[in-house]
Amino acid sequence: MTSFRLSKGGLIDRAAQLSFSFDGKRFTGHKGDTLASALLANGVTLMGRSFKYHRPRGPITAGAAEPNALVELREGGRKEANTRATMVELYDGLVAASQNRWPSLDFDVGAVNSLASSIFVAGFYYKTFMWPKSFWEKIYEPLIRRAAGLGTASKLPDPDKYEKAYAHCDLLVIGSGPTGLMAALAAGRAGKRVILADEGSALGGSLLNEREEIGGTSGLDWAMGVLAELASLPNVTLMPRTTVIGWFDGNIFGAVERVSDHVAAPDPHEPRQRYWKIIAKRAVLAAGAEERPVAFGGNDTPGVMLASAMRTYANRYAAAAGKSVVVFGNNDHAYRTARDLKAHGVHVEVIIDSRKESGADAAGVPVLRGRMVADVTGGRAVKAVHLTDGTHIACDAVAMSGGFSPIVNLACHKGAKPRWDANLLAFLPPDTGAAFTAAGAAAGKMLLSECLADGAAKGAADGRAISVPTCRDEAHAIAPLWWVKESQGKAFIDYQNDATAKDLPLAAREGYKDIELAKRYTTTGMATDQGKLGNVNAIAIMAEATGRSMDEVGTTTFRPFYTPVAFGAFAGPFTGHHFQPVRKTPLHDWAAEQGAVFVETGLWMRSSWFPRKGEDWLAAASREVLATRSGVGLCDVSTLGKIDVQGRDAGQFLDKLYCNTFSTLAVGKARYGLMLREDGIVSDDGTTSRLAEDHYVMTTTTANAAKVMAQMEFAHQALFPDLDVTYVSVTEQWAQMAVAGPKSRATLQKIVDGLAMSDETVPYMAALEVSILGGIPARLFRLSFSGEHAYELAVPADYGNMAARALMQAGAEFGIVPYGVEALSIMRIEKGHVAGGELNGTTTAGDLGLGKMMSTKKDYIGRMMAQREGLNDPNRQCVVGIRPVDVTDRIRSGAHILRKDDKPSMANDQGYVSSVAWSPMLNMWIGLALVANGRARHGEIVQVWDGLRGTQVLGEICDPMHFDKENKRLHA
Amino acid sequence: MLIPCPHCGTRPVEEFTFLGDASVTRPTSNDPASMEQWYDYVYLRANPRGRFAEFAHHSGGCRAWLVVTRNTETHEVYGAVTARDYARAKGAKA
């Protein structure tokens, strides 16, 4: 294989040889190479196959806008698809593979698509795959997806770490070319906090790629001098390998720093990438300008590339794009390209200038004026060009230049549109105010001297100007040229989507004249490069086809992100349990000792059941219920929200929050409370106790603890700001356990200090501050969710495990068992207590059978709206019990209730089963249901129809309280 | 977007939870005749283009409810006061 590495020059480290592989073949390159430059230096120009036609493709650019040279980089969990070879820094051991080809890059069966290209014109999906409709999902779409496409994602987890960080600065400079360096220098010398960010692997921007003269030395040396000064300033932060991807409200910029993408794998303790939010008082967009291709036949043949890219490969990477080059352009940059290549010893056959005249220096290279390249022949590599006048010129590479487009993307991220400048033939950035200004080539300054001066002016702070160095300017005259219509072959506008110049007039003819519609119809400007190269050409062709101006056609919407971003960068460290941390209750260790099976509910790990040998969840939970109802059981209820409410107006505040009254609650007593939303629907419930005149302890459901706290804060601060009350969440500060069953009192008595427990000293609904185990402060509540004679004991969190262990010991003689949320749930359904299935955001207090709790003597949240007619309709679904007629039948949660003789259909729906449990006390499945006018229908036989599982059984509507209707056990 | 919390200083919007239109005032009457006012309070919310005051909870910070005034079109944030001060000022005016 011939080497295309130039014998000298470039910014590569020739002493550092790096080995890499592409499609399984070994190659060598140098430190300082990109994957693309190293492949070019090895004579490899074919790097990928195109999206639709599977055409052979090589790099068009040497930078971020690359649409063609997309590879799958790395292997295993680190494999990244659609990675731009032009941006990949070469490292030793790099492994890359080409995409969208089968069986190989050289011979790709999919290329037959090109022969059938007449059916693959714009909109072909919509035209071809319309009928029959059912074929789309199962046949057409999977087929298209396999045939057309980009790289494939790894299915393995990403082994790398990502970080997020914030930075603040007085001035953010985006881009480190001549403009950006001057801006950073001006602000840096004025003592401002400056961040200079650039997506490149090294700072210097175009000065790394071009041969310039600044301040009497080379542009590169000048840049290195400025960077050295900036690096010495403590107030300046240099951020290479950092792409600013978006401009957001508050002058916040998103930026992705590629911390470790230039090595095979990140160092331990280093992230792969870091996502920055940079909060900038001011920012300067010095992103430069992107060269445009020209649409002519075969302008996608490997070996055809942008003139600036060809210069970059020669000047920076010492890689020649070919042995014999034709340069084609509509502007003076074609001439500098020929000069640069000639200086590097690359033969330039001819410059083809579409204009009739030019004053630029061709350095002795022949120039053919007033002609254009119509077609490139060669297929997998350039062999020749055919000109519009019929001339045939052999060559192996073509440099093209259609002019320059300022990189305005970031300036448009908030919705402002760029405006067309007919002299520069470029869209210029919109006015974005003083806090974010474009400068240099990004603002349409096409001369180096203008860029240096503009950067210095826009970066200057506090009126402190810096002197601008002298430089040599390149000619930049240009005449419009978008599409060589004499072309025979496919002239591509959007390489990545295989959209051709002809597709745009076709879209216009078919009515898609709006550029946003044309984009979607032709797919021009989509996918990973978002039309960075081709959009302006597309707009120009559309303007011509529809007789409109460039401004009338306008651009499509520029949205973040400027270049594709790995999901990992946005996720940062917040993955798995770092996203949803685990909350363990203070009794977790005790429950684990007891063999608990834990279930995640929200963030909490709750003990769900405590299996003994050979037991499944149902056997364990049933045993726990039986043991509790016949002796005593202990359950961790620490996850309930606990809010400490204190102050002179605490009672009054609770009266506003709950629909029932708490200001009249006696000290030392607890009361069940129900909270409504302002629209009259129930929001939460729980027991709240009064420990002192001005001190209450509120409990909420586990799920709503945080929500209730936020609602209390709103009610107090925004609605009732003059109430003298303060409150704080103490959920994590207290371990709380339910001690339930006929032996609960006897068990507790053994650990409670100095209190003879009786119905007189600890009556039903008592709430007392006591101590246990010889001085541990505790709160003792006589509450019951299970329906048994029961208590809840709360101790400071750190005493939780100790207290639970002591209770297990105390209850041992009564056969105490730990029980989990499954048993808890069974017992509450047996007793008809409502929980999450019924407090579901659609039910009123009346629906829950709790209508009498709603006070008529005070104002509270939800009072007025709860009186609405619709919320008091007797036909509303309300809570009832449901049980099978045949006790061997199983009732399922979610099943619908139908009248006995109605056909199974949602049209006949009467309600649904909201909670079910196997009742070990009743030996059957029982449930709670929400049924229309249910309270009047106790005793009615209905169908319980589960259309999803396909079951249908007869059930009986009954009182929700399935067990111990007289509540004898509660007071036993 | 950055929110100037009166307690915490300028903080990123991710720390806040928004509740919407702060121009509404909870009626004080429980008289059935006030039902129209209640409907408006519970359901009617302005959604203007331009200047807009809305409740925001500094849920990831000091936990104060604020009234943040911003421009819904340009996203410019004009300022923030505590909901308590806002409610008291409104009460004083009424």
Identify the pLDDT of residue A51: 84
Q: Tell if the CB–CB gap between B82 and A250 is shorter than 8 Å.
A: no
Q: CA of A437 to nearest chain B CA: how many angstroms apart? A: 17
Q: CA of A392 to nearest chain B CA: how many angstroms apart? A: 56
pLDDT over 70 at A115, yes or no: no
Chain A residues touching B7 at Cβ < 8 A: none
Identify the pLDDT of residue A752: 98
Chain A residues touching B41 at Cβ < 8 A: 678
Choose among A678, A718, A722: nearest Cβ to B55.
Answer: A718
Do residues A727 and A644 touch, judged by C-beta distance below 8 A? yes
Do residues A221 and A229 touch, judged by C-beta distance below 8 A? no
Chain B residues touching A167 at Cβ < 8 A: none
| Residue range A590-629, pLDDT digits in tens | 999 999 999 998 899 999 999 999 999 999 999 999 999 9
The reply to whether B2 touches chain A by the CB within 8 Å rule is yes
| Residue range A656-673, pLDDT digits in tens | 999 999 999 999 999 999
Look-up of token digits 């579901």: A840
Instruction: From A142, A42, A34, select the one nearest A86 (Cα to Cα).
Output: A34
Write the CB contacts of B63 (distance below 8 Å, at least 6 apart in sequence): A710, A713, B57
Q: CA of B13 to nearest chain A CA: how many angstroms apart? A: 10
The reply to whether A728 touches chain B by the CB within 8 Å rule is no
- Taking CA–CA distances from A414, the nearest residue in chain B reads B74
Q: CA of A640 to nearest chain B CA: how many angstroms apart? A: 20
Identify the pLDDT of residue A483: 97
Choose among A249, A713, A859: nearest Cβ to B1.
Answer: A249
Rounded distance between C-alpha atoms, residue A817 and residue A609, angstroms: 11
Chain B residues touching A863 at Cβ < 8 A: 30
The reply to whether B82 touches chain A by the CB within 8 Å rule is yes
Q: How many CB atoms lie within 10 A of CB B62?
A: 15
Q: Tell if the CB–CB gap between A714 and B17 is shorter than 8 Å.
A: no
Rounded distance between C-alpha atoms, residue A541 and residue A544, angstroms: 5
Mean pLDDT per 10-residue run, chain B (94 residues)?
96 95 95 96 95 97 97 94 95 71
Choose among A713, A859, A863: nearest Cβ to B57.
Answer: A713
Pick A934 or A581 by higher pLDDT. A934
Q: Tell if the CB–CB gap between A713 and B32 is shorter than 8 Å.
A: no
The reply to whether B77 touches chain A by the CB within 8 Å rule is yes
- Taking CA–CA distances from A860, the nearest residue in chain B reads B30
Choose among B34, B42, B65: nearest Cβ to A718.
Answer: B65
**Element spanning A506, H or E:** helix A503-509
The reply to whether B24 touches chain A by the CB within 8 Å rule is no
Interface subset of A 244-263, CB within 8 angstroms of B: 248-250, 252
Domains, in order of start, for chain B: 2-93 (3.30.2270.10)
Instruction: From A185, A382, A370, select the one nearest A300 (Cα to Cα).
Output: A382
Chain B residues touching A252 at Cβ < 8 A: 1-2, 12
Identify the pLDDT of residue A929: 98
What rounded mean pLDDT belongs to chain A?
A: 95
Domains, in order of start, for chain A: 1-159 (3.10.20.440), 164-289+404-459 (3.50.50.60), 293-402+475-490 (3.50.50.60), 492-553 (1.10.10), 585-639+733-827 (3.30.1360.120), 645-727 (3.30.70.1400), 873-972 (2.40.30.110)
Q: Tell if the CB–CB gap between B1 and A252 is shorter than 8 Å.
A: yes
Do residues A839 and A879 touch, judged by C-beta distance below 8 A? no
Do residues A51 and A496 touch, judged by C-beta distance below 8 A? yes
The reply to whether A165 touches chain B by the CB within 8 Å rule is no
Q: Tell if the CB–CB gap between A719 and B41 is shorter than 8 Å.
A: no
The reply to whether B41 touches chain A by the CB within 8 Å rule is yes
Chain B residues touching A717 at Cβ < 8 A: 64-65, 82-84, 87
pLDDT over 90 at A461, yes or no: no
The stretch A297-301 carries a mean pLDDT of 97
Q: CA of A396 to nearest chain B CA: how many angstroms apart? A: 52
The reply to whether B25 touches chain A by the CB within 8 Å rule is no
Count how many residues are written for chain A.
972
Identify the pLDDT of residue A1: 46
Q: Tell if the CB–CB gap between A252 and B2 is shorter than 8 Å.
A: yes
Choose among A248, A277, A719: nearest Cβ to B26.
Answer: A719
| Residue range A120-161, pLDDT digits in tens | 666 665 665 556 666 666 666 666 555 556 788 899 999 999
- Taking CA–CA distances from B37, the nearest residue in chain A reads A864
Chain B residues touching A279 at Cβ < 8 A: 2
pLDDT over 50 at A337, yes or no: yes
- Which residue in B15, B26, B37, B81 has the most chain A C-beta atoms within 10 A of its own C-beta, making it the best mutation to test that interface? B26
Rounded distance between C-alpha atoms, residue A858 and residue A653, angstroms: 12
The reply to whether B59 touches chain A by the CB within 8 Å rule is yes
Identify the pLDDT of residue A44: 95
Interface subset of A 857-896, CB within 8 angstroms of B: 859, 863-865, 867
Opening angle at CA A697, ends A693 and A701, nearest 5: 150
The reply to whether A488 touches chain B by the CB within 8 Å rule is no
Provide Rg for chain B, Cα atoms: 14
The reply to whether A856 touches chain B by the CB within 8 Å rule is no
The reply to whether B44 touches chain A by the CB within 8 Å rule is no
Identify the pLDDT of residue A53: 86
Identify the pLDDT of residue A125: 59
Q: Is A84 exposed, middle or buried (0-12, 13-18, 19+ CB in 10 A)?
A: buried
Write the CB contacts of A717 (distance below 8 Å, at least 6 apart in sequence): B64, B65, B82, B83, B84, B87
Q: CA of B46 to nearest chain A CA: how many angstroms apart? A: 18
Q: Tell if the CB–CB gap between B77 and A710 is shorter than 8 Å.
A: no
- Which residue in A168, A864, A871, A872 has the most chain B C-beta atoms within 10 A of its own C-beta, making it the best mutation to test that interface? A864
The stretch A801-807 carries a mean pLDDT of 98
Chain B residues touching A715 at Cβ < 8 A: none
Q: CA of B61 to nearest chain A CA: how many angstroms apart? A: 12
Burial pattern A275-308, b for ≥16 Cβ within 10 A else e, equals: bbbbbbebbbbbbbbbbbbbbbbbbbbbbbbbbb
Identify the pLDDT of residue A359: 86
Q: Is A899 exposed, middle or buried (0-12, 13-18, 19+ CB in 10 A)?
A: middle
Residue A180, CB-side half-sphere exposure with 13 Å CA sphere: 30
Rounded distance between C-alpha atoms, residue A404 and residue A61, angstroms: 13
Long-range CB contact pairs, A443-450, < 8 A, 24+: A443/A285, A443/A406, A444/A406, A445/A179, A446/A289, A446/A404, A446/A476, A447/A473, A447/A474, A447/A476, A448/A178, A448/A212, A448/A214, A448/A219, A448/A472, A448/A473, A448/A474, A449/A473
pLDDT over 60 at A376, yes or no: yes
pLDDT over 60 at A573, yes or no: yes
Chain B residues touching A250 at Cβ < 8 A: 1-2, 13, 75, 77
| Residue range A238-257, pLDDT digits in tens | 999 999 999 999 999 999 99
| Residue range A440-458, pLDDT digits in tens | 999 999 999 999 999 999 9
Q: Tell if the CB–CB gap between B2 and A250 is shorter than 8 Å.
A: yes
The stretch A482-497 carries a mean pLDDT of 96
Identify the pLDDT of residue A65: 97
